[in-house]
Amino acid sequence: MPARLIESLAITEPLADVFSDSSVLQALLDFEVALARAEARVGIVPRSAADRISEAARASEFDIAALSRSIFRAGTAAIPVVKALTEKVRARDRDAAAWVHWGATSQDVVDTALMLLLKRARPIIAADLQLLQKALIRLSNEHKDTVMLGRTLMQAAPPVTFGLKAAGWLGALHRDRKGLEKAFDQALVLQFGGASGTLASLGDKGIAVAHALAEELGLSYPEAPWHTQRDRLANLVCCCGVLTGSLGKMARDISLLMQTEVSEVSEPCGEGRGGSSTMPHKRNPIGCALTLAAAQRVPGLVANFLSGMVQEHERGIGGWQSEWQIVAGIIQAAGTAATSMAEAAEGLSVDPARMRYNIEATNGLIFAERAMMLLAAELGRDVAHELLEDATRKSIAQKKRLSEVLPELPEVSSRVDRSVLAQLEVAEQYLGSAETFRKALVDSSTLQKSES
């Protein structure tokens, strides 16, 4: 199902389908079907009644617009849906209609339906994250020796490798994926407690029904109902927030590297992607834009969810009712960021020559730290730092390379051999432990991949 126009920049088609009206309604109905089947297994509901409920619970046969109006008045989706389902069952079998929603409460339906939607969304996001991980591993390995400017506070700094930069993105993704998987495992649990969370209406068969219901729906069975204990779900939305932030960091880096003045990488282009309505020459960072937009939305949504956790006694008022839109928005944002960055990384063009050009354009100033460390052993750090400040000012003023200015300083020429100064600006000789760090990040991610 395509997204609505107003959501077009905030959701992918697969997730639009998961959170479509028909999908949400079907999740609510699926709870009622599974409940009837579970109670039939335990011997509470006649098997024939469970069959009639199952036959009637097809979202395509319901008036969603009418349900939406009724839900607004009822304050919960469960009451109008249960009422409409009961009428459809009654049309098939009057006796079977009496068994619809037996022993459940409204929040059981709504919370479990949300779990079913999240269960569907999980593999969609996971697939995009897997594609992104593979692309980043490839980029890092291919460019382990591709030197580029390091940049600190948006200014040129000593060199790094693009392989290390990609591995940095990969490392965050690796950690966030592990956290998200664990959060999904903990969150995807059945909600079934009845009116006050005790299943009193089902007597001594309540626990048996709950176990059978969890099995029917493919959800984990919790220690107890969690009507006003929202910590599992809160942990999931927080993990989505962290993931989206990490993807946003990657998007920020790529978009900055795509600036005309930098031009070191570029997103893939294609029909209808990356162009401008007025400037035909442009190749815009569309994937980055969508990801950064998602990363801007999510923190507020996560904060909204956390503020709604303070819920009253055995059934909350207001906080719980706010959650569906918040959780859906967070999942959709995380999914949009994941698919956007996967596409960007898979088709990312890297320009090593431009990276080298940008290093050369600094006239060697990025190696001032290296020169200072050479002199510090002879002159002390403070004196060496002062000398290099003077040398860099002359380099800028005279538009000369740092390696040309330094030999003109007596304090330098008397203590550092010219052959050493001649090698000062060889970027490959000032990468420190970059490759060790890069390899550690890639190896860690690859290990997780093989274990999964």
DSSP per-residue string spanning 87-145: HHHHHH-HHHHTTTTTT--HHHHHHHHHHHHHHHHHHHHHHHHHHHHHHHHHHHHHTTT
Catalytic residue among 283, 315, 354, 401: 315
Going from the C-alpha of 31 to that of each of 51, 209, 235, 266, 294, the distances in angstroms are 14, 13, 24, 47, 31
Half-sphere exposure of 134 (CA within 13 A, CB side): 10
Give 3-state DSSP helix, strand, coil % of the chain, rounded to 5: 70, 5, 25
Q: Which residues contact 27 (CB under 8 A, 6 or more apart)?
A: 113, 114, 116, 117
Q: How far apart are CA 252 and CA 391, in angstroms?
A: 33
Q: How far apart are CA 146 and CA 161, in angstroms?
A: 5
Which pair of structure tokens corresponds to residue 2? 């395509």
**Residue 315 a catalytic site member:** yes
Which pair of structure tokens corresponds to residue 370? 């290296």
**Nearest partner of 205 among 219, 216, 194, judged by Cα:** 194
Residues in the chain: 452
Q: How far apart are CA 283 and CA 238, in angstroms?
A: 33
Going from the C-alpha of 405 to that of each of 88, 155, 316, 420, the distances in angstroms are 88, 21, 71, 14
Catalytic residue among 8, 276, 433, 452: 276
Count of C-beta atoms within a 10 Å radius of residue 120 = 16
Please list the active-site residues: 276, 315
